[in-house]
Every structure is written in structure tokens, then in C-alpha cells.
A and B are shown apart, each in its own frame.
Chain A
Amino acid sequence: MLRLIVQRLLALIPLLFIVSVMTFSFTSLLPSDPVDLILGETGTQEQHEMLRERMGLNEPIVVRYVQWLGRAVQGDLGTSFFNSVSVSTALMQRLPVTLSLTLVSALIAVVVGVAAGIAAALRPRSLIDRLATVGATFGQAIPNFWFGLLLVAIFAVNLRWFPATGFSPLSASPVDWLRSVTLPAIALGLSSSAAIARQVRSAMVGVLQQDYIRAARAQGLSSRRVILKHALTNAMVPVVAVLSFQITVLLGGALIVEQVFAINGLGTLAIGAVRQQDIPMIQGLVLVMVGLVVVVQLATDVIYGLLNPKARPS
């Protein structure tokens, strides 16, 4: 298992290199010019040239990339084009926010999805099964930003149970953190819980018909033990793969949900950076997102191996 982790982490290096080359190239091909945004509508040609020179934008793209890479391998991702905020600092400030949101969403998705999936699988074609299926379809169909707005209208604006906007750090107040993250996490986790519910139901229905489950029941094991220990463990193998994909989806979905709830995470940072064509910030963001996705996939492989010894690398 340790070998797998080391291999995956080593594979991250060429992956990050390729991604950084692609990001740098594509953002440099954009027709808009950050100098326009900095100088506004009144900048003269001379000022444009001076600022381009100062920002190093007159250098060939290869030279700019090599300079950036040289600093990046030393841990310096540069500074925003638009202010003195370092990219690393900005990313480290926003990362806990997006991770909080994503992890709580994933937790909600797993709890709701697994519970709904088991309930549906235990009584196939029953009312509960049909309700779970309709709920899953509904959950996957509705956009998370719309659901988020609905939650805000009901629970923040009308009932005043939760704040409508903003994020409170966990270190400042756990209660405020929970209040600030609840609505966006529900909005974000809904569609993933639906996907997980479908997967759990499907896997559980198959597993519950297996001979070893009948044997376990015949041995007099309690229904709870049969379901949670024997059936669910085996049914979770494909679910983990879905969950891995869903966490990646959640990271992407956080970009939109952060806007709806005015949460200052990586998504908000990404949208601002793309709008301004803040290349150093975009580079840093893409690298962090790729890193997160790789870590999630690595964790999936590890969990997969723990659940299914046959899947462990030799």
C-alpha cells in the first residue's frame, strides 16, 4: 500500500508539470489583457507598454513560463498581477474554506445517500424504494445553485436559522462554523447524495441476493449485523468509486455554491482570477485543484484496497 502511495505521489510531478504548461499556454492565448484591467479605460499606449514591461508580459511565453517554474519549484507561486497578495497566501487562506464545504457536503452525501440506498434496497419496489428513487432523480436533476437559493430563502431569510451569506472559520467558533456551512453543504451535497443512493441501492440489491447473506441469516445473525457488516461492506466497493468521482464533482460545484452564499473559497478566487486574467493566480489554483483531485483518487484507491483485499496492489 505504501508503494502505491509513493508511486501515485511521484506520478503527480509530471502531471502537475503538464497541467501547468497547458494552463500557462491557454491563459496566455486569451485575447483580453490584464494591463487593460489595471489601467482602466483611460490608460495611454505608453502606460500600457510600461506596465507590460514591469509585469514581464513582453517576454516570450516560454521565458515567462520558465521563470515562473523556477520560482514554483522553490515554493514561490508568485504574486497576483493586481495586488501584493502572494498566490500561496491566497490559496492557503481559501483552501480550508473550500475543503470545509466539500468535506461537510461529502459527509451529508454519504450519510443521506447510504441511508436512502439501504432503505430502498431492503424493500425493493416498495413505497420507500419508489420514494427514494424519485428523490434521487429529483436530487440529481435540480441545480445546486437553485437549491441553495431556495434554502437561503426559507432557512435564512424567512426563518433566520442560518446566515444567508459568509463563512465563519472553525477556529473562531465551531457553532458559527457549523451554522455557516450547513446550508451551502446541503445545497452542494444533494446531487451527490442522490448519485450515492442510486449506487448503494443497486449494489445492495445484488449483494442481498448472494448465498453468503442467506447463510449469514441462516446462522441466526441479527438483520442489522447482516446488513451493516456483511452486505454493506461488499456493496460499498463500487460506492467508493462513485464517491471519489462525486468529491471531484463537489469541488467543482463549490465554485458555484460559493458564489450563491458569498463564501470566500477557492471558487470565488477562481472566478475573480479568470475574470481578471490573473495568470499567476490561475496557475496556482489549477495546481491546487489538480493536487486535490489526485489526493482524492489516491485515498479512493487506499480505501478500495482496504475494502477489497483482492484489489490491493501486489
Chain B
Amino acid sequence: MRSWITGSTIAVAMALGLAASPALSQGSGTFKYAEQVKLITMDPQKQSGSGVPFLRPAYESLFEKGPNGENLPLLATDYAVDGLDVTITLRQGVSFTNGEPFNADAAAKNINRGVEIGIVEGLKTVESASAADEYTLIIRLKEFDPAIISTLCYTGGMMIAPAAMADPALDRNPVGTGPYVHIKTESREGEVQVYTPNPTYWDKDKIGLARYEVWEIPDDTARLNALKTGQIDAGNWLSNPQAAIIDRTPDLKLIRNNGGLNYHVIISDREGTVVPAFADPLVRKAMALSIDREGFNKAIQFGLAAKSFQPYGKGDWAYDPALEGVYDYDLDKARDLMAQSKFPDGFSFDMPSIPVYQSRLEALAGFFKEIGITMNIAPQEPGTLARVSRTTAYPATNLVWNTITDPKFLALRYVYDDANYNPFKAKPSETLLALAEEGLTSVETEVRAPVYRKMAEQLAEEAFLIFVTNAPILIGTSEKTANNPTVVYRYGEDSVNLRGLKAND
């Protein structure tokens, strides 16, 4: 009798367990991520900077990056590039959380809206998009764009429900196809955004959480304390003392993800219009050699960055290992080059600075002083450096470059005579121009990589871009998160891949 009861109980329990399995596919537990920036907008096509972790739960892009930066299908299943026409096959059986079907018409509306708004830089080569049939999207380009599929891996390829585009408050009411749905009633503006599983998600098995939260904690110390006390499971950091503390704390872990920011000096006046010495390549090379990047990294970036001599970091497809150490700190050689130049007695120039770069520039000024160059630091209002760098107000400037940005943008930013950050309209060398053009002839990274490596070598030779350090994307996690096998960081992003993510407990 007892065994019958026991057996019956087990059978009932198993039956209940099986009956409960659909609920389990909706996920369990909570994962809390902290962002270092405040939420500006949840409209992907109006998003111009950080804050992608707020978008990823609700929005999916047509493609996504694989672990090595390759383009993988997501809402799209295939693509073909034929000159200026990009044909994209879309996934079937997907719907937006407001019930609208995801099809080529919806995708075309998204691409056209992105083009019209004009904030997503990668969509600037797009003429228009249209639906060839229900699940075939055609994107017509203005010019051949090898980076178009890469653009569609990020905000440029995120799909908004067409009806939601008319909502003036779309930036706080995201409607996409993502695995999670934004819950406005449980979110607190400026503090936390809450997401729960999307009941109509096309790939339910990938929903592993009952709740996902993105916290806005801009203060680095407060974010660190939240991580230490378990209030958050992970969060992102820049190379600052708090990140260094995480790196040294036994029960925390600092993840170095692909991508990140390359800090560099730009000699804008490379034809010597205002500062004649800048026209001399020997001077520019001497400046590059005078920088003790190792010391700079330790003192300014707490040892969390890496020396840099090119726009890409190790692991990026365009990275050129041959350039490693090309301008390693060599003060004697730098002084020799200055002595050989037309400016052996040195010269002075002005460099714009915003508070966050002040210590970096003070260090660089010290290095340049050693070879007789006086760099006067000119403070600017925060938020104005990019604008002032596009003018002829200063002969040189300093900026950061996101290392996952497609190399074609390097030419658009610095090389062409009408490049954004070539205010003196300096003519590029024929070699550089030819390489920039050659890089645009294919979408395949295997074909483009050798071209951009040569371009990086040429940039090193001309030395008007002086790369200093490469700081990877830094994500601080608790020990439990570090040991959670479902936590996968998106390539080149400061966000976790939510598809398949499960809670630590």
C-alpha cells in the first residue's frame, strides 16, 4: 500500500512537473545588469552613443556578431550583395510584441526610418529599402558599402514595430521582437528598467529569465558597491580605479571584452598651415616615439589598457600584428628624428582638452616636452571636443575611436580631404587613398583584412594619427556571474547576450 502511495505520489509529482514545463520555458530568476550611462533613448534609430544594454532585451537586429566578429543571422536568415543591391531573406514566424507580423514591409519601414532620421552612421550609405516579397528585403545603396551587414548587427538593424513608430514616446515604450518585453509600470525612470519574458517570442527555449533589470548607476564607486553587495550581477566600467579594484578583488571578476576605445592624437594640420612642423613626418614620428605607452597606461588607465600603434586591438579582424611595437618608447630615437627634422629646436602648439582627458594630455605634454615640443593644453567645455575638433581652431586634437567600428569609417573620419576630422582639408597620400578605396570593394573580411592592414601600416608611416592606448570593454561581474556558463558577452558591446541567459542561482 505504502509503495503504491509512494509510486502514485511520484507519478503525480512528475505529471505536475511535466505540466509545469511550459512555464519553465518562460524562464526563472532575475539577472541585474548596471549601466554606467543614463538612459537617453530606447529608440534604436535615435541612439547615438552608449546605452545599448537598454535596447537589447526588447529589440533584435537583423544580424548579430558571432564570437569572432563574424556576421550571423538573427531576424534575417541569409543575405546576398550584388553591387548596390543587398537582398536579405527574413525569418518567418516572427511577430512584434504588439502583435504586428515581422515581414519585409516592416523591415523596410525600419531601414527607411533610420535613413530619414540619419543618426545611425552606418545607414548613411543606404538609398532606400523595399519589400521584394513578404520575406525578402531589398536595400538599395547609394555607394558600395562593405560594412552594411555589420551595420545591421547593431542599432541600424534593430527592428521596431511599424505601428509603434508613430508613438511620440517610443523612446520609453520599446516595441520589438526581442526575448523580453519592457515593463514600464515596474521600471523607474532614471533608476531601473525592467523586462519580463516575451510570451510570443519566436525562440522560446532561449528565454531563461523571469525578469531582467538594467540599472542606471553612473557613479563608478556606487556601481562597484552594488556589485560587491550583490545588488547587481554585472555592470560595465571604463578603465578607472574602480575597475582596477574589481580586477584585484578575489570574489569579483573583470571581463575584458572585444572592442573598446582607442585613444589617439590627431595631427589635423598635417600640411603645416598653422604649425609648419606638423608637415614634417620626422616630427610626427618623433612624437609617436616619445610616448611611453606602458607608463601612460599604468599611470592614467590603471594598467587596464594596452599599448596601441594602430586603430584596432588584438582579436579584431583588421588588426595587424606586424605593427606591434612600431613606435615603442625610444626617447633617443625620437630626439634623433627631431634633430634630423627642420625643427631641431622644437616648437609649440595648442591642444584642446575636456576634463576627462586632462590627465592624459598632461602626461602627453610631459612626453613631448622631452623632445622639445611644448603642448599647451586648452580646456574646453565638456561635450564640445568633437565639435571643436572638426574646426581649424586647433592644429591637433585627441579623441577615442571604437575599435569595432568598420575600418571604412577610419577613412571617412580622418583620411579623405572632406573627412569629418580633417578640418584643414589635407590631401591624403595616393597610397592611403588607394587603400581606402580598395577596402570598399568587398564585404568579405578575409578580402578586406589585408587591405586594411596595409592601410594601418601606411597610417603608421605617415604618423598623423598617433595611437596611444587601446582600452577594452570592461565588464565587472560577481563570482557567480563569472561562473555562470550561460553568460555570454556580445562581441564588441558592453552587454550580455540575453538569448539563453539564465539567472546565477
Q: Does A211 contact B (CB under 8 A)?
A: no
In the complex, what distance in Å separates the CA atom of A42 from the CA atom of B121? Answer: 6
Interface presence of A160 (CB below 8 A): yes
Partner-contacting stretch, out of B218-226, B361-369, B459-467: B218-226
A165 at the binding interface (Cβ < 8 Å): yes
Known: A83-B40, A85-B189, A157-B229. A259 touches B383 (CB 8 A): no
A36 & B225 in contact (Cβ 8 Å cutoff): no
User: In the bound complex, what is the Cα–Cα distance between A78 and B305 (angstroms)?
Assistant: 43
A167 vs B189: C-alpha distance when bound (angstroms): 12
Confirm or deny: B384 has a beta carbon within 8 angstroms of a beta carbon on chain A: yes
User: Quick check: which of A66-74, A195-203, A268-276 contacts chain B, the rest being far away?
Assistant: A268-276
One of B59-67, B142-150, B168-176, B422-430 at the interface: B168-176
Q: Please give, as numbers and ranges, the residues of chain A lying within 8 Å of B46 by CB-CB distance.
A: 38
Determine if B41 and A83 form an interchain contact, defined as CB atoms under 8 angstroms apart: yes
Chain A proximity of B37: nearest CB distance (Å): 10
Q: Does B273 contact A (CB under 8 A)?
A: no
B191 at interface (Cβ–Cβ under 8 A)? yes
User: Is A135 at the interface (CB under 8 A from chain B)?
Assistant: no
Least CB distance, A98 to chain B, in whole angstroms: 12
0/1 string, A154-180, CB within 8 A of B gives 1? 001100100111110000000000000
* Main DSSP-derived SS at the B contact region: loop
Q: Which of B170, B190, B228, B380 is most buried by chain A, counting CB atoms within 10 A of its CB? A: B190
Within 8 A of B (CB), among A1-43: 30-33, 36-43
A260 close to B (CB within 8 Å):
yes
Is the C-beta of B250 less than 8 angstroms from some C-beta in chain A? no
Considering only residues 419-466 of chain B, those with a C-beta below 8 Å from chain A are 420
Report if A307 contacts B (CB, 8 A): no
Q: A155 to nearest B CB, angstroms?
A: 10
Given A84-B169, A269-B190, decide whether A36 and B217 contact each other with a Cβ distance below 8 A: no
Check if A165 sits within 8 Å of B386, measured CB to CB: no
A47 partner residues in chain B, CB cutoff 8 A: 118-119
A262 at the interface (CB under 8 A from B): yes
**Chain A residues within 8 Å of B229, by CB:** 156-157, 160, 163-164
**A263 shortest CB reach to chain B, Å:** 9
Is B49 interfacial (CB-CB < 8 Å)? yes
**B231: CB under 8 A from chain A?**
yes
Does B2 count as interface, using CB distance less than 8 angstroms?
no
State whether the Cβ of A112 lies closer than 8 Å to any Cβ in chain B. Answer: no
Q: Out of B38, B223, B383, name the residue touching A36 (CB < 8 Å).
A: B383
Separation of A41 and B401 alpha carbons in the complex (Å): 10
Q: Does B358 contact A (CB under 8 A)?
A: no
Interface residues in B200-217 by Cβ distance below 8 A to A read 215-217
A109 vs chain B, min Cβ distance (A) = 23
CA distance A272 to B219 in the complex (A): 12
Give the distance in Å from the alpha carbon of A183 to the alpha carbon of B383 in the complex: 33
Select one of A89, A149, A269, A276 contacting B221, CB under 8 A.
A149
Q: Which B6-53 residues sit within 8 Å CB-CB of chain A?
A: 38-41, 46, 48-49
A304 on interface, CB distance cutoff 8 Å: no
Complex CA gap A152/B384 in Å reads: 35
Alpha-carbon gap, A261 to B46, bound state (A):
30
A90 on the interface (CB 8 Å rule)? Answer: yes
Kindly state the separation between the CA atoms of A31 and B383 in the bound complex, as whole angstroms: 9
Question: Would you call B382 an interface residue if the criterion is a C-beta within 8 Å of the partner chain's C-beta atoms?
Answer: yes
A93 interface hit (Cβ, 8 Å): yes
Asked if B383 contacts A277 (CB within 8 A), the reply is yes
A residues near B228, Cβ cutoff 8 Å: 157, 164
In the assembled complex, the Cα of A275 lies from the Cα of B219 at a distance in Å of 14
List, in ascending order, chain B residues with CB within 8 A of A268's CB. Answer: 190, 218
With a CB–CB cut-off of 8 A, which chain B residues contact A37?
Answer: 383
Given contacts A33-B384, A39-B119, A166-B191, contact A83 B222 (CB under 8 A): no
Nearest CB of chain B from residue A266's CB, rounded to whole Å: 10
Question: In the assembled complex, which residues on chain A have CB atoms less than 8 Å from the CB atom of B215?
Answer: 166, 262
Q: Which chain A residues lie closer than 8 Å to B381 at the CB level?
A: 30-32
Is there an interface contact between B226 and A40, defined as CB atoms closer than 8 Å?
A: no
The answer to whether B333 has its CB under 8 Å from any CB of chain A is no
Q: In this assembly, does A264 line the interface, its C-beta being within 8 Å of a C-beta of chain B?
A: yes
Instruction: List residues of A (50-95) whose CB comes within 8 Å of B's CBs.
Output: 82-85, 89-90, 93-94
The answer to whether A164 touches B226 (Cβ under 8 A) is yes
Q: Say yes or no: A93 contacts B386, CB within 8 Å.
A: no
CA distance A38 to B120 in the complex (A): 11
* Inter-chain contact B383/A32, CB cutoff 8 Å: yes
The residue that A85 contacts in the complex, of B121, B172, B384, with Cβ under 8 A, is B172
Indicate whether A166 sits within 8 Å of B169 (C-beta atoms), given known contacts A83-B41, A264-B191: no
Residues of chain B within 8 A (CB-CB) of A43 are 48, 118-119
Interface pair A83/B386, CB less than 8 Å apart: no
User: How close is A233's CB to chain B, nearest CB, in angstroms?
Assistant: 42
Contact partner, B226, options A31, A38, A165, Cβ 8 Å: A165
Contact A83 B383 (CB under 8 A): no
Q: Please name all residues of chain B whose beta carbon is closer than 8 Å to the beta carbon of A269 when the two chains form the complex.
A: 190
Q: Which of B443-494 contact A (CB under 8 A)?
A: none
What residues of A have a CB within 8 angstroms of the CB of B188 in the complex?
93, 264
- Further pairs besides A32-B384, A83-B40: 9, Cβ < 8 Å: A36-B383, A38-B46, A42-B420, A90-B190, A165-B217, A165-B225, A166-B226, A262-B215, A276-B383
List residues of B whose CB falls within 8 A of some A CB. Answer: 38-41, 46, 48-49, 118-119, 121, 168-172, 188-191, 215-219, 221-223, 225-226, 228-229, 231, 380-384, 386-387, 399, 420
The contact sample of 17 A-B pairs, CB cut-off 8 A, is A30-B381, A31-B384, A43-B48, A43-B119, A47-B118, A82-B40, A83-B171, A93-B189, A157-B225, A157-B229, A165-B225, A165-B231, A166-B215, A166-B226, A262-B222, A264-B189, A272-B190
